[in-house]
Structure 1
Amino acid sequence: MKKGLFITFEGNDGSGKTTISKMAYEKLLDMGYPVVYTREPGGIDIAEQIRHVILDPKNTAMDARCEALLYAASRRQHLVEKVLPALAKHQIVLCDRFVDSSLVYQGIARGIGIEEVYKINEFAIEGHLPDATIFLHVDLHTGLSRIETRGEKDRLDNESMKFHQMVSEGYDTIREMFHERMHVIDATKSIEDVLKATIECLLEIINAHD
């Protein structure tokens, strides 16, 4: 790699984003690519501690702006401690969620506003947006039915149907806003088919980047 490549994964609730991103990482690793896998919120110790606070089901009193600030704080530490050092080593960083999630969940679903949440994150990321984003798309009801099959649910999983509907609609808005870096994958298909399409897309992004 001539320079690092920052690729994020986004998707509606229940899209299989985490499963597919981890499997894609393993595939690229097997193929010999200098790839690093991480997630948000989390990825490094301080950010993982913040993740626990954000997603703890007991923290139902959390204010929406407090939530947005916690995500931005976690993102900042994760960026400077893990993402930027990996990019400096000319590695490919695959990240499960990034700033798009905050724009959707806090900006739209929480009603703070996209512009307001983007300003918070501008301070945190200092212009370091993804080079490309893999968006795993699944319809609302399919996604929610998948969530129901999970074991323990986090604080956001337990939100109302209206909240999840706004998240789904919010991602439609964000995909349009950042369409130039969005690569949409149909996530309603089998895991094998979704993974195959994702790998093909990743290789196109990587080859175009070299």
Structure 2
Amino acid sequence: MRGKFITVEGGEGAGKSTNLEFIRRLLESEGYQVVFTREPGGTTLGEDIRELLLGHKHTGMADDTELLLIFSARAEHLARKIMPALEFGKWVLCDRFTDASYAYQGGGRRIDLERIRQLENWVQGGLKPDLTLLLDLPVDVGLTRAGARSEPDRFESEGMVFFDKVRNSYLKIAAAEPERVKVVNAAASLEEVQRRIEMVLKAFFRAQSESQ
């Protein structure tokens, strides 16, 4: 039986790292074999591309170059890691996926969404996550958290206007696909955030059991 593909999305400072580990433990407690990965990255080639994208060596990178590098890493990620795991029956838990391209490159960079859709169709062939958890919080709160965490990468160095566009794009995706994308208020306490995540996942588990 094919495994399930779960992604976690959100702006800067949304707490993805902490909550991804919480989600991984929940999935494993249900008896699922979990492959944890991230984008951009997930493979040797993908991690090299990640360094190009997040580092400051190429600060003036053209927007189209950025988008194409992300989908190049994604193509390798799908071929080498995600698809083999799903076909083997494992559950894949991924830190960001194509929703991030629509939010950051489509919303933040203002790249035509149709161009992103064309790349999505070419690279993914119709594959979408089975469930996406969107950790949402006000931009100023997220940037304050991210700034206290570490030195900003190339994306984190963008300003409020950019991240407002990113957040709005994510929320538009969630509104358009409510069955797949579940919004979690990441501005709440960690306990409340994880309580909500657990509720979403348990409902997802029940739906999987009923469909078998």
TM-score using structure 1 length: 0.93
Alignment of 1:39-118 (within 5 A): 39-118=38-117
**Cross-structure match for 1:22:** 21
Between the aligned partners of 2:123 and 2:176, the Cα distance in structure 1 is: 20
Between the aligned partners of 1:98 and 1:62, the Cα distance in structure 2 is: 21
- The question of whether the paired residues in 2 share the 8 Å contact of 1:36 and 1:91 is answered with yes
Task: Specify the code of the residue in structure 1 equivalent to 2:5.
Answer: F
Count, aligned residues: 209
Q: CA RMSD in A?
A: 1.4
Between the aligned partners of 1:66 and 1:116, the Cα distance in structure 2 is: 13
Deviation at 1:30, TM superposition (A): 4.0
Deviation at 1:182, TM superposition (A): 0.9
Between the aligned partners of 1:59 and 1:204, the Cα distance in structure 2 is: 43
Where 1:82 maps in the other structure, the secondary structure is helix
Deviation at 1:26, TM superposition (A): 2.6
The alignment-based identity, stated in percent, is 38
Between the aligned partners of 2:31 and 2:178, the Cα distance in structure 1 is: 29
Between the aligned partners of 1:82 and 1:192, the Cα distance in structure 2 is: 32
Where 2:5 maps in the other structure, the secondary structure is strand
Between the aligned partners of 2:202 and 2:178, the Cα distance in structure 1 is: 19
Where 2:149 maps in the other structure, the secondary structure is coil
Where 1:149 maps in the other structure, the secondary structure is helix
Alignment of 1:100-179 (within 5 A): 100-179=99-178
Deviation at 1:5, TM superposition (A): 0.5
The farther-off stretch of 30-39 and 14-23 is: 30-39
Between the aligned partners of 1:37 and 1:181, the Cα distance in structure 2 is: 19
**Cross-structure match for 1:202:** 201
Q: Deviations over 1:76-135 (max 9, x none)?
A: 111111111111111111111000000111112101122211212221111111111111
Query: Gaps (5+ residues) in structure 2?
Result: none
Deviation at 1:18, TM superposition (A): 2.4
Deviation at 1:190, TM superposition (A): 1.8
| Moved >4 Å (runs of 4+) | none
Deviation at 1:194, TM superposition (A): 1.3
TM-score using structure 2 length: 0.93
Between the aligned partners of 2:189 and 2:140, the Cα distance in structure 1 is: 17
- The question of whether the paired residues in 2 share the 8 Å contact of 1:107 and 1:115 is answered with no
